[in-house]
Amino acid sequence: MFQLDGKIAAVTGSGSGIGRAVALVFAKQGAEVHLMDLNAEAITNTKEEIEKINGKAVVHACDVTSQQQVHSVFKSIGKVDILVNSAGISHIGNVETTSEEDFDRLYNVNVKGVYNCMQGAIVKMKQQGSGVILNLASIANNVGLADRFAYSMTKGAVLGMTLSVARDYIREGIRCNCISPARVHTPFVDGFLKKNYPGKEDEMFDKLSKSQPIGRMAKPDEIANLILFLCSEEASFITGCDYPIDGGFIKLNN
């Protein structure tokens, strides 16, 4: 089950974190994975990891905020069976402490970047009469998170775009879903704690971990496994859905 033999998959943000985990599990399951990330060195490292398991990967250093770059990458790929929009950034702040510069920066990566990639991929998918798009949303779609004003705005937009694309292209054989993770232990989390809580990293990591009722953060592999299912043929009847993967955060945090 969940084999992707013969599938061509594009994964943004595949240099680290969830995107990297998705790229690895896709390659393990037989897909040819096109790695898209601003950090060329990082996706080269991911490519090398994929090749160690005899997988196939192609590197595309790409800024998802640039429509020209994104469309150029998709033209070079040719056939696209699967698109996973994992590239994203975060920000700490409420409406008063979020600067216009930060607001625009988050919008450009988290919203416009997803739009650019979906637009580039859907052209190919329509020609094929099939395709799967999986977007990374967040628990911030569903609950109010303190000091995540701009981030919540972008992830709400991702959910809205997901539902719109699912509706507009259901007759074209294109499925579109999103998932909403709670906190995931990625290099981003470690960097955030080091920057904002020097000397208290372990204490804050424990506090953030316990904010999930299950008592820990998710592992990138756990998120990637859900994405694998939703992008596989076994999920062929699923479209226009948002799947929480949150350790009980949304429903059990009373």
Q: How far apart, in whole angstroms, are the C-alpha atoms of residue 203 and residue 174?
A: 45
Does any domain span residue 3?
Answer: no
Q: How far apart, in whole angstroms, are the C-alpha atoms of residue 143 and residue 127?
A: 38
Does any domain span residue 171?
Answer: yes
Whether 235 and 132 share a structural domain: yes
User: Given the structure tokens 């799967």, which residue do they identify?
Assistant: 132
Percentage of the residues of the chain whose pLDDT score is greater than 90: 93
Range of the domain at 68: 8-182+221-248
Whether 202 and 227 share a structural domain: no
If phi > 0 it is left, if psi is from -120 to 50 it is alpha, else beta; for residue 153 that is alpha
Whether 36 and 133 share a structural domain: yes
Q: How far apart, in whole angstroms, are the C-alpha atoms of residue 212 and residue 77?
A: 39
Does any domain span residue 253?
Answer: no
Whether 47 and 60 share a structural domain: yes
* Bridge partners, residue 132, by sequence: 82, 175
State pLDDT tens for residues 188-204: 889 888 888 899 999 99
Whether 155 and 192 share a structural domain: no
State pLDDT tens for residues 172-186: 999 999 999 999 999
Are 3 and 29 in contact, with CB atoms under 8 Å apart?
A: yes
Cα dist. 170→61, 130, 148, 214 in Å? Answer: 31, 10, 33, 36
User: Given the structure tokens 């859900």, which residue do they identify?
Assistant: 226
Whether 95 and 117 share a structural domain: yes
pLDDT category of residue 187 using cuts at 50, 70 and 90: confident
Does any domain span residue 60?
Answer: yes
Whether 127 and 200 share a structural domain: no
Instruction: For the full predicted model, state whether its pTM sits above 0.85.
Output: yes
Whether 147 and 211 share a structural domain: no
Q: Is there a catalytic annotation at residue 151?
A: yes
Does any domain span residue 229?
Answer: yes
Does any domain span residue 24?
Answer: yes
Whether 141 and 239 share a structural domain: yes
Whether 25 and 40 share a structural domain: yes
State pLDDT tens for residues 124-170: 999 999 999 999 999 999 999 999 999 999 999 999 999 999 999 99
Task: Output the average pLDDT for the chain.
Answer: 96
How many CB atoms within 10 Å of residue 116? Answer: 25
Rg (CA), the chain: 17
Does any domain span residue 230?
Answer: yes
Does any domain span residue 13?
Answer: yes
Q: Which helix (H) or strand (E) holds 136?
A: strand 131-136
* Bridge partners, residue 35, by sequence: 11, 59
pLDDT score recorded for residue 254: 62
Structure token pair of residue 196: 């904002």
Whether 134 and 199 share a structural domain: no
State pLDDT tens for residues 17-68: 999 999 999 999 999 999 999 999 999 999 999 999 999 999 999 999 999 9
Q: The CATH number of the domain where 56 resides is what?
A: 3.40.50.720
| Candidate list 107, 151, 197, 243, residue with the active-site label | 151
Domain total of the chain: 2
Whether 66 and 127 share a structural domain: yes
Q: How far apart, in whole angstroms, are the C-alpha atoms of residue 249 and residue 254?
A: 9
